[in-house]
């Protein structure tokens, strides 16, 4: 694909028209500046977005976020909505790590109150929150418990002592998707889920201690509980092996039991949402999403415990309040305006975050005036952003937004260019950021230089009207999975 295949709508929106290739059902709308567009053309991300336009029942347009990069099947940073009655659901347009997502916790603790204790604090969290390849959970789970987790999500976790009922108000869908049915999980998925609940995982998953460095909208930041110079914590994890197995199982079953002809990529295997197999996958996907909500809830509990273990002093307020918990690999049934009419659609978001604007009925009362918090973590050692959803995003992107910075370098290139040990040392010496990781090569793969500049992504998001800036967070300590 070349740049002149794209129509420039304005400085932050580009279109691949239906005329680009025969058989495209809808156009592709890309939110990006000129530089990001140039980079997109270096890999296969836009081709992958075009491939998704062949999905039966896809509606209006396939959207591409500014943090887009090449994935498998569908690009990371891709959004596609399909007709619930006459359209398909595709596991490859959701991803293997179902409900991979981010939770943000806020506090009233000033960085200056605990500055000397950050190294021991992150060490305490590291020992309480299992992380890295092959490292399982400390939570003993029976098969019956797992069924409860997959049915009730974060609600199960709270009922079993991991956190507070107030947390549930600030999780997408209260942390429990009602269409979940654990009987749709394979035995392999169950067996993989049992030893991993309450563990971070590896790759780009992380726990990060931040402080609020800058506030752009005092009123909204106040509603979100974000105060200048106070600590915040981000938790990025997903549904672990259970979610991976659900995706693997159903991609294979879809190909075997209901092959769709003329799709350009087998990874985009799909079935009609309303078919019995479609409903079964949706029930399994929701079960995996609930597992992920419970996983982040349990990790939150252990982060809180670590703060209390280490920082307990009578005059310190150690409350860590859940600001929001959102998914960025998921399919959701939502109501959107399609050709001027309200319609129930299945929004596939892969590496993209939901971004409901003010007044949306699915938001908690506190966030009705502001829109939902939208979390855009930066790469390790760089800033992260808290934004707020807009009404405009509902028209432009099925209420979706970027989920982070987005990679620019492959993992092998990153490993050739960076050394884990020097990244760790430089971040400590130059930016006073503590890093904990079991794998130095994993750290090299996640080097800040392997990602886009998060500030550029945030600028595109805001200029395109998908979300607005609320606060900027800076890291003080990071656990990399």
Query: Least distance (Å) from another protein to the CB of residue 156?
Result: 23
* Contacts (CB under 8 A) with another protein, residues 194-223: 201-203
Please state, in angstroms and as integers, the Cα–Cα distance from residue 444 to each residue in 32, 413, 415, 437, following that order: 27, 10, 5, 11
Instruction: Give the separation between CA 182 and CA 302, rounded to whole angstroms.
Output: 26
Residue 263 touches another protein, criterion: CB under 8 A: no
Query: Least distance (Å) from another protein to the CB of residue 39?
Result: 9
Residue 290 or residue 437: which is nearer to another protein going by CB? Answer: 437
Residue 251 or residue 298: which is nearer to another protein going by CB? Answer: 251
Burial classification of residue 426, based on how many CB atoms lie within 10 Å of its CB (0-12 exposed, 13-18 middle, 19 or more buried): middle
Residue 95 or residue 371: which is nearer to another protein going by CB? Answer: 95
Q: Crossing angle, helix 276-311 and helix 143-152, to 10 degrees?
A: 100
Residue 244 touches another protein, criterion: CB under 8 A: yes
Question: Could you tell me how many residues of this chain bind another protein (CB under 8 A)?
Answer: 41
Cβ count near 23 (within 10 Å) = 9
Residue 446 touches another protein, criterion: CB under 8 A: no
Residue 71 touches another protein, criterion: CB under 8 A: yes
Mark residues 125-154: x for contact with another protein by CB under 8 A, - for none.
--------xx--------------------
Interface with another protein (CB under 8 A), residue from 269, 271, 286, 375: 269
Residue 255 touches another protein, criterion: CB under 8 A: yes
DSSP class of residue 57 equals T
What distance, in Å, lies between the first and last C-alpha atoms of the chain? Answer: 35
Would you call 86 a catalytic residue per the annotation?
A: no
Residue 211 or residue 254: which is nearer to another protein going by CB? Answer: 254
Stated length of the chain: 481
Residue 134 or residue 340: which is nearer to another protein going by CB? Answer: 134
Residue 161 touches another protein, criterion: CB under 8 A: no
Residue 188 touches another protein, criterion: CB under 8 A: yes
Q: Which of 69, 236, 244, 403 is catalytic?
A: 403
CA triple 124-126-131, angle to 5 deg: 160
| Structure tokens, 439 | 């794998």
Instruction: Give the separation between CA 170 and CA 386, rounded to whole angstroms.
Output: 15
Mark residues 401-420: x for contact with another protein by CB under 8 A, - for none.
------xxxxxxx-------
- Strand 467-480 and strand 384-389: the pairing is antiparallel
Q: Using CB under 8 A, which of the segments 21-29, 102-110, 262-270, 336-344 binds another protein?
A: 262-270
Per DSSP, the three-state class of 189 is helix
Residue 266 touches another protein, criterion: CB under 8 A: yes
Q: Cβ neighbours of residue 210 under 8 Å, at least 6 residues apart?
A: 231, 232, 233, 234, 384, 473, 474, 475, 476
For the stretch 141-145, contacts whose Cβ atoms lie closer than 8 Å and that sit 24 or more positions apart, written own/partner, are 141/193, 141/194, 141/195, 141/197, 143/190, 143/194
Residue 424 touches another protein, criterion: CB under 8 A: no
Residue 70 touches another protein, criterion: CB under 8 A: yes
Residue 253 touches another protein, criterion: CB under 8 A: no
Per DSSP, the three-state class of 223 is helix
- Per CB under 8 A, residues contacting another protein are 43, 45, 69-73, 76, 92, 95-97, 133-134, 188, 192, 201-203, 241, 244, 247-248, 251-252, 255-256, 265-267, 269, 407-413, 439, 441-442
Catalytic (active-site) positions? 403
């Amino acid at each position: 694909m070349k740049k002149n295949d794209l129509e420039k709508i304005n400085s932050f929106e580009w279109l691949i028209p239906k005329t680009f290739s025969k058989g495209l059902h809808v156009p592709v709308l890309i939110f990006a500046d000129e530089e990001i567009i140039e980079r997109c053309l270096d890999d296969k991300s836009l081709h992958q977005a075009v491939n998704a336009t062949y999905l039966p029942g896809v509606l209006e347009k396939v959207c591409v976020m500014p943090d887009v990069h090449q994935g498998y099947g569908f690009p990371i940073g891709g959004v596609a909505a399909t007709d619930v009655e006459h359209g398909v659901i595709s596991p490859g347009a959701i991803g293997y790590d179902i409900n991979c997502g981010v939770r943000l916790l806020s506090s009233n603790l000033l960085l200056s109150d605990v500055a000397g204790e950050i190294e021991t604090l992150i060490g305490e969290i590291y020992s309480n929150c299992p992380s890295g390849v092959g490292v399982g959970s400390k939570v003993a789970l029976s098969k019956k418990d797992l069924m409860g987790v997959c049915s009730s999500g974060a609600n199960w976790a709270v009922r079993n002592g991991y956190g507070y009922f107030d947390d549930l108000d600030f999780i997408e869908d209260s942390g429990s998707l009602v269409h979940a049915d654990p009987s749709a999980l394979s035995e392999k998925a169950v067996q993989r889920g049992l030893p991993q609940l309450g563990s971070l995982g590896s790759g780009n998953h992380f726990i990060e201690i931040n402080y609020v460095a800058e506030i752009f909208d005092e009123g909204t930041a106040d509603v979100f509980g974000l105060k200048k110079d106070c600590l915040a914590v981000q938790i990025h994890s997903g549904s672990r092996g259970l979610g991976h197995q659900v995706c693997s199982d159903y991609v294979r079953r879809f190909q075997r039991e209901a092959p769709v002809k003329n799709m350009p990529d087998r990874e985009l295997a799909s079935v009609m949402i309303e078919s019995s197999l479609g409903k079964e996958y949706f029930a399994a996907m929701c079960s995996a999403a609930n597992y992920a909500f419970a996983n982040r809830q349990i990790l939150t509990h252990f982060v809180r415990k670590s703060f209390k273990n280490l920082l307990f002093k009578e005059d310190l307020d150690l409350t860590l309040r859940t600001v929001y918990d959102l998914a960025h690999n998921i399919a959701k049934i939502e109501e959107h305006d399609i050709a001027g009419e309200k319609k129930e659609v299945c929004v596939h978001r892969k590496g993209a975050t939901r971004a409901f604007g003010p007044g949306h009925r699915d938001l908690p009362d506190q966030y009705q005036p502001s829109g939902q918090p939208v979390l855009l973590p930066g790469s390790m050692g760089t800033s992260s952003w808290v934004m707020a959803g807009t009404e405009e995003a509902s028209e432009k992107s099925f209420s979706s937004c970027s989920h982070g910075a987005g990679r620019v370098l492959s993992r092998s290139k990153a490993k050739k260019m960076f050394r884990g040990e020097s990244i760790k040392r430089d971040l400590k010496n130059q930016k006073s950021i503590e890093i904990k990781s079991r794998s130095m090569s994993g750290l090299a793969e996640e080097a800040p230089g392997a990602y886009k500049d998060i500030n550029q992504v945030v600028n595109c998001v805001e200029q395109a009207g998908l979300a607005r800036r609320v606060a900027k967070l800076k890291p003080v300590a990071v656990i990399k999975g």
